[in-house]
Structure 1
Amino acid sequence: MGEPAVEELCAELIRFDTTNLGDGKSLHGERAIAEFVAGHLTDAGLTPTLLERDPMRANVVARVPGTDPALAPLLVHAHLDVVPADASEWSVHPFAGEIRDGFVWGRGAVDMKDMCAALLTVLARWSATGTRPRRDIVLAFVADEEDTGEWGAQWLVDKHRDLFDDCAVAIGESGGYTVRTTHTDGRQVRLYPVATAERGTAHLRLSATGRAGHGSRRNENNAVVTLVHALSKLAAHRWPVHLTPAVRAFLERAAPALGIEVAWDDMDETLRRLGSAAKVIENTVRNSTTPTVLSAGYKVNVIPGVASALVDTRVLPGTEDHLLAEIDRVLGPGISREFVQRQPPVQAPVDTPWFDAMADALRAFDPEGIVVPFCMGGGTDAKAFARLGIDCYGFAPLFIPEDHDHKLMAHGVDERVPVEGLRFGVNVLDRFLSTV
């Protein structure tokens, strides 16, 4: 049959509506796409296993045997679910999987059905050419990454850890994509950030209690007012700079490539000097506490007795205790907090043969590319697999053309991935997975 066109495969994957609604709910589940993936794995000569915590919430795991059983296996994980999309806001239907203007359009195009398509294309290529990797490759196509992972990676680690216990390292989203920026002498520079860390998740529910009563009457113990004042202080708080090893290494390697000096005592000035490259680290030089959901009351003329808010809190490695103590200080009395979701930060070493192999694979297809480590601002399924002692990296290679803002695509309207970039990703993944 030969190697499938990666863009066509990506479009087919997008046509499966795998919308994750959150709170443990999925619109259609991941079973149909999991069976599709399993079929491709079978065609590539593998023996996939489908695993479900609940009906329709399927995960696919398979192992590619390597030529040297003495080498520790590598885990490659990719998620099959996507966030919701409102078709009325899009130029194309988000689940049509259209290919036009050099892009594959649709929800999940860059988060992360592109990586799924690239992996399946590499495996088809290996099957056709008889290629085998040096070490075993464990593949995990999982459900529920866009929520808690409790039907996907977290559940697999809890209930099927034997599938991954011997893995030393993992790759997943998001890293290895082109970031275009400019040297001080005017030359274009192409950076390729590879994630070696990610901030932890400490989503909080803040609650204020007061005296319920009539809206027309004076009330010095209004829960809504107490909560709003506390949130205002938290939103205005400026968190201090904390440079993780990943961010520090990014600055040490990116700055010379851009012809700038790092102002270590003035990070705002450093971000200014970095120009467009600043977007790689601007969200990870500090912790963050972002109020996102407010809930109080049920009628305009009734003062409620309780008001609550959800705060998206992201935690840099090694800072959680200090962060939580400072949150309590800023909020002041009268506010209680509880964790809605709590997952620790992830951090892998930068100077390793694994990172070097990723850099070599990228430079094989873009010799002028500058490969740099970075810390991800959000979270991925790496948080689950890191619990097994696996060093997790974000490496889903993709070439980004000029005038295309890749970072705006994930979860955005008119999400799309460049066909040229997909083909680049296949070649880089092939090089890395077959030689590492």
Structure 2
Amino acid sequence: MRTATIRAAVLGAALAIAPQAAVAGEAGAGAAPNAGRHAFRDLFRELVETDTSVATGSCTVLAGKIAARFRTAGFGEDQITPFRDPAFPLDGGVVVTVPGTSAKAKPMLLLGHIDVVNARREDWVRDPYRFIEEGGYFYGRGTADMKVLDAIWIDTLIRLKAEGFKPKRTIKLALTCGEESGARMNGAKWLADNRPDLIAAAFALNEGGGGATDGHGRVLSQSMQTGEKANRNFEVQATNPGGHSSVPVDDNAIYELADALARVRAQKFPVHFNDTTRTYFAKVGAARGDALGAAMARLAADPADHAAEAAVAADRTLNSMLRTTCVATLLEGGHAANALPQRAKANINCRIVPGEDGDTTRAALVAAIGDARATVTPVGRVRPLAVPPPLDPRILGPAEKLAARYYPGVPLVPAMMTGATDATYLGPLGIPTYGVPGPLADPDGNGLHGLNERHSVQSAYIARDFLHDLVKAYAAQE
């Protein structure tokens, strides 16, 4: 996901074009130049400073604040539908509908989760639930995943209303809880199961796409997500009768588990291209003009090129796009400091490429461990397998046209997300779901799911204008 041939001038050109477009659009709506940006920043701040983690926060509180913003902007009560499962009062969400003028045009759906990964203040340099602008970045939990896109979706609908825009398609916005943890409920799943009418659409726009930078200000690529990996967890467990620690034996559950985990670490799943990833590696590789780019292009042409595979796999992001990956994420063992362990277990989180599934992945883990005493058991919530959306020119065409204006010289390519999103719950409803381009990520991942999460200030503003125009283009289709 990194191309090195785009010059620094590309970003400068993008930054020059986007603000002009924003000012023109806002002035046309009767607003002072940049007033829309100030309103967007305040909205983004409120989203980030409202804690929506499963440990200490409430999505329901934030959903209420969002609904209030829409009411203030002049949306009617019939357009705003708060929802929640009574069993989970903290996990509410909201659906907002902008009716279209055409009986022929089918609705479009904007999807976003408003919950965030847990964050501990003592681990962060800054308070994770304060919105801090520093060094060209907005800091705070959720700034990258995915409250920047939530803010853009909300801002876009309010902005379109202020402009007096009448969409042909009905535009639906669903902001849900539980994507990050699902410990209590998943709002997208709840809507799919209980209120599919609220989200029924011809297609949906979601997280998962976006742009990549070199970490020094150069935009390298923009992607439209047209596929994603499946998320599966497996528990590897070793058991033993145990005994007194003063009389140790080699047959030890912790040692047995450690040996199993070492074999899991060494396990490398084969390269598994699909149409999206093959296209991505070929086009982005050709655009780079460096040794890694050449290796990407060679590997796309010949997946059996082991030298190219080794070069590409050295980049952790590219490696994860090539194959199924499994990694240990949780560990537990023993029951007393003076006793031999009777049980030791670990969670293995696997991200599975399309074309493989939980059964094939479990079988590969069992074979890699090669120890019949160690059990490998599927655990946790099982999402449906993602349904890759078609490479529809009515979706990709407008995105390519606008990307060329906002990010000149930067290739827009289909891409597979290495994580999993709530798009998995829309596939069974027949709603093809695309991860939108726009927001940028640095090579280090911007602290996503980790410490000191951040998002580029300029990227947020440019993506705001780009996605406003993209939603408007889709909404004008018939």
Q: Quick check: which one's strand share is greater?
A: 1
Asked if the contact 2:145/2:448 (under 8 Å) is kept, the reply is yes
1:51 maps to which residue?
83
Gapped regions of structure 2 (runs ≥ 5):
1-29
CA distance in 2, matches of 1:371, 1:255: 13
2:375 maps to which residue?
336
1:262 maps to which residue?
298
User: How do residues 136-147 of structure 1 correspond to structure 2 at under 5 angstroms?
Assistant: 136-147=170-181
CA distance in 1, matches of 2:460, 2:400: 18
Asked if the contact 2:313/2:319 (under 8 Å) is kept, the reply is no
CA distance in 1, matches of 2:352, 2:248: 40
2:399 maps to which residue?
358
Q: Quick check: which one's helix share is greater?
A: 2
User: In structure 1, which of residues 403, 409, 415 is the aligned counterpart of residue 447 of structure 2?
Assistant: 409
SS of 2:298's equivalent?
A: coil
Tell me the CA shift for residue 144 of structure 1.
1.2
CA distance in 1, matches of 2:341, 2:133: 52
Cα gap change, 1:327/1:20 in structure 2, threshold over 3 Å: closer, same or farther?
same
Residue identity in the other structure for 2:360: H
2:63 maps to which residue?
34
User: In structure 2, which of residues 147, 152, 158 is the aligned counterpart of residue 118 of structure 1?
Assistant: 152
Q: Deviations along 1:102-136, whole A, 9 cap, x unmatched?
A: 33221111111111111222122111110123311
2:459 maps to which residue?
421
2:193 maps to which residue?
158
CA distance in 1, matches of 2:329, 2:261: 10
Asked if the contact 2:210/2:437 (under 8 Å) is kept, the reply is yes
Cα gap change, 1:390/1:306 in structure 2, threshold over 3 Å: closer, same or farther?
same
1:318 maps to which residue?
355
CA distance in 2, matches of 1:270, 1:45: 55
1:372 maps to which residue?
413
Tell me the CA shift for residue 406 of structure 1.
6.4
Asked if the contact 1:76/1:170 (under 8 Å) is kept, the reply is yes
User: How do residues 223-302 of structure 1 correspond to structure 2 at under 5 angstroms?
Assistant: 223-259=253-289, 260=294, 261-263=297-299, 264=302, 265-266=304-305, 269=308, 272=311, 280-302=317-339
Q: Deviations along 1:292-327, whole A, 9 cap, x unmatched?
A: 212121212212322211101111111124322222
Residue identity in the other structure for 2:145: D
Cα gap change, 1:424/1:162 in structure 2, threshold over 3 Å: closer, same or farther?
same
1:24 maps to which residue?
none
SS of 2:210's equivalent?
A: coil
Cα gap change, 1:298/1:279 in structure 2, threshold over 3 Å: closer, same or farther?
closer
Q: Do residues 309 (structure 1) and 346 (structure 2) align? A: yes
Q: Do residues 129 (structure 1) and 163 (structure 2) align? A: yes
Tell me the CA shift for residue 218 of structure 1.
4.4
CA distance in 2, matches of 1:357, 1:280: 27
Tell me the CA shift for residue 49 of structure 1.
0.8
Asked if the contact 2:109/2:205 (under 8 Å) is kept, the reply is yes
2:117 maps to which residue?
83
SS of 1:282's equivalent?
A: helix
Q: Do residues 10 (structure 1) and 44 (structure 2) align? A: yes
TM-score, normalised on structure 2? 0.81
2:235 maps to which residue?
205
CA distance in 2, matches of 1:273, 1:226: 33
User: In structure 1, which of residues 53, 61, 64 is the aligned counterpart of residue 95 of structure 2?
Assistant: 61
Residue identity in the other structure for 1:432: L
Tell me the CA shift for residue 174 of structure 1.
2.3
- Greater alpha carbon shift after TM alignment, 217-226 vs 131-140: 217-226
Asked if the contact 1:144/1:151 (under 8 Å) is kept, the reply is yes
User: How do residues 90-105 of structure 1 correspond to structure 2 at under 5 angstroms?
Assistant: 90-105=124-139
Size of the aligned set, in residue pairs, is 420
SS of 2:336's equivalent?
A: coil
Tell me the CA shift for residue 180 of structure 1.
4.0
CA distance in 2, matches of 1:132, 1:216: 78
1:390 maps to which residue?
431
Tell me the CA shift for residue 411 of structure 1.
2.0
Tell me the CA shift for residue 59 of structure 1.
0.7
Asked if the contact 2:248/2:340 (under 8 Å) is kept, the reply is no
User: In structure 2, which of residues 449, 454, 469 is the aligned counterpart of residue 431 of structure 1?
Assistant: 469
Asked if the contact 1:11/1:104 (under 8 Å) is kept, the reply is no
Tell me the CA shift for residue 84 of structure 1.
1.9
Asked if the contact 1:250/1:372 (under 8 Å) is kept, the reply is yes
Tell me the CA shift for residue 269 of structure 1.
2.0
Cα gap change, 1:340/1:326 in structure 2, threshold over 3 Å: closer, same or farther?
same
Cα gap change, 1:433/1:59 in structure 2, threshold over 3 Å: closer, same or farther?
same
Asked if the contact 2:211/2:220 (under 8 Å) is kept, the reply is no
Aligned alpha-carbon RMSD (Å): 2.5
Asked if the contact 1:176/1:362 (under 8 Å) is kept, the reply is no
CA distance in 2, matches of 1:383, 1:254: 26
Tell me the CA shift for residue 396 of structure 1.
5.3
SS of 1:238's equivalent?
A: coil
Residue identity in the other structure for 1:366: Y
Cα gap change, 1:71/1:280 in structure 2, threshold over 3 Å: closer, same or farther?
farther
SS of 1:20's equivalent?
A: coil
